[in-house]
Amino acid sequence: MTVCTIGVETSCDETAVAVIEADEKGCRLCAEALATRPEEHSALGGIVPELTVRQHLELLPRLMVEVQEKAGARKVQAVGATAGPGLAPALLVGLSFGKALAWSQGNSFFAINHLEGHLFSPFVSQGMWPVYPHVALIVSGGHTLLVEASGPQRRKILGTTRDDAAGEAFDKLARMVGLGYPGGAALEKEARMGKKGRMSLPRPMKGTEGCDFSFSGLKNAARLLLEKNPEIAQPGEARSNFCAEVQAAITESLADRASAALEETGISTFTVSGGVSANQGVLQALKSMAQDRRVTLHCAAGGWNTDNASMIAAVAARRALDGLPSDWDADADPRWSVAR
């Protein structure tokens, strides 16, 4: 049996729609359309929930037409929409849109956990279904999680952040030295021109018990360093060295915590997804850690590491193949945990 599935993602400021085709062997992306207008949010100093609603309402119908044109004439069987975690008003737009679409086309409907999408993306981006058991590292602007997935519906959280998410830390540190918002990618670019070790910043939680993360200590140490040496925030060699040191601190922390999770569980399949996994330094450190531990690493490639609708469509397709539709009254849950 092949199922053609539409995925809708509106958990934060990105609006995305995707069409995938799936069967028991795996899934294939037919079309995706994504839009985001971060400049409208940055002008207001961060993500504004009311603005995300207006943007999703405006963009969804347009993106829907775009993917349908790209995907060509296909008979759709299922629609999945992100129901959480995320911003409540933003989630409600996509969820209502997805339900209305499914109802009007006579499809089954699936309310999808955004984080389960991130768990799927390293596998489905390679066309395959998730392999169990595995340990997943999800590193984005809103989440930093280590999850043990021992079966399709059996998941345990091994570690989470005690304060900021890894992407949030990248963004806040980038902003301190004038690299804009969101600044993760800009900080990585600047770090390539600098050298780590020219100034000293802590490696958060490295070597500690358990698998938790924390980035507030790094942020405070960086703030003190910049207060004492304001010239670092100006474009030039010192700023590049600062970025290289920040990049090294976050990277070492992520690799150390992931290594602790693999040690704790003894599991030999490891995945990474989320916006921060687009960082080549982070990816290289995780690759060499996995190699040292003789663990297989699956990364979410290309557009699959940042927020997207393909991963939401893939989870819905898996659910459709397993005959597990959601109820029509499924509600948005801004704090929906990925643990089961």
Q: How far apart are CA 95 and CA 84, in angstroms?
A: 9
Q: Tell the residue number behind the tokens 């018990």, with chain if given.
A: 209
Near Zn ion by CB under 5 A: residue from 140, 144, 251, 305? 140
Considering Cα of 120, then 59, then 11, then 96, what sign does the dihedral take? negative
Q: How far apart are CA 290 and CA 129, in angstroms?
A: 21
Q: Is 209 left (phi over 0), alpha (psi -120 to 50) or beta?
A: beta
Asked if residue 204 binds ligand KG4 (CB under 6 A), the reply is no
Is 277:249 a contact under the CB 8 Å cutoff?
no
- Quick one: 221 or 283, whose CB is closer to ligand KG4? 283
Asked if residue 307 binds Zn ion (CB under 5 A), the reply is yes
Enumerate residues 73-132 that contact ligand KG4 by CB under 6 A. Answer: none
- Quick one: 309 or 330, whose CB is closer to Zn ion? 309
From the list 22-30, 31-39, 134-142, 147-155, the region that binds ligand KG4 by CB under 6 A is 134-142
Asked if residue 252 binds ligand KG4 (CB under 6 A), the reply is no
Near ligand KG4 by CB under 6 A: residue from 85, 122, 194, 275? 275
Cβ of residue 253: shortest distance to ligand KG4, in angstroms?
13
Closest by CA position to 312, among listed 1, 34, 24: 34
Q: How far apart are CA 311 and CA 316, in angstroms?
A: 9
Cβ of residue 132: shortest distance to ligand KG4, in angstroms?
23
Asked if residue 142 binds ligand KG4 (CB under 6 A), the reply is yes
- Quick one: 97 or 215, whose CB is closer to ligand KG4? 215
In terms of Cβ atoms closer than 10 Å to its own Cβ (0-12, 13-18, 19+), residue 226 is middle
- Quick one: 184 or 325, whose CB is closer to ligand KG4? 184
Q: Residue 161 binds which one of ligand KG4, Zn ion, none, with CB within 5 to 8 A depending on kind?
A: none
Output the six-digit token pair for 210: 């358990």
Cα angle 289, 290, 291 (rounded to 5 degrees) comes to 90
Output the six-digit token pair for 45: 């100093």
Q: Residue 279 binds which one of Zn ion, ligand KG4, none, with CB within 5 to 8 A depending on kind?
A: ligand KG4
Q: Residue 94 binds which one of Zn ion, ligand KG4, none, with CB within 5 to 8 A depending on kind?
A: none
Q: How far apart are CA 237 and CA 235, in angstroms?
A: 7
- Quick one: 276 or 299, whose CB is closer to ligand KG4? 276
Contacts with Zn ion by CB under 5 A: the residue count is: 2
Can you name the residues that pair with 137 across neighbouring β-strands? 146, 272
Is 275:305 a contact under the CB 8 Å cutoff?
yes
Asked if residue 140 binds ligand KG4 (CB under 6 A), the reply is yes
Asked if residue 307 binds ligand KG4 (CB under 6 A), the reply is yes
- Quick one: 200 or 280, whose CB is closer to ligand KG4? 280
One-letter identity of residue 10: T
From the list 22-30, 58-66, 100-108, 140-148, the region that binds ligand KG4 by CB under 6 A is 140-148
Enumerate residues 180-199 that contact ligand KG4 by CB under 6 A. Answer: 182, 184-185, 188
- Quick one: 78 or 187, whose CB is closer to ligand KG4? 187
Cβ of residue 200: shortest distance to Zn ion, in angstroms?
32
Near ligand KG4 by CB under 6 A: residue from 116, 171, 190, 245? 171
| Residue 4 backbone phi and psi in degrees, to 5 | -100, 125
- Quick one: 149 or 199, whose CB is closer to Zn ion? 149
Output the six-digit token pair for 156: 């345990």
| Residue 111 backbone phi and psi in degrees, to 5 | -90, 120
In terms of Cβ atoms closer than 10 Å to its own Cβ (0-12, 13-18, 19+), residue 37 is middle
Q: How far apart are CA 203 and CA 35, in angstroms?
A: 35
Residues that bind Zn ion (CB under 5 A): 140, 307
Residues that bind ligand KG4 (CB under 6 A): 12, 140-142, 167-168, 170-171, 182, 184-185, 188, 274-276, 278-279, 306-307
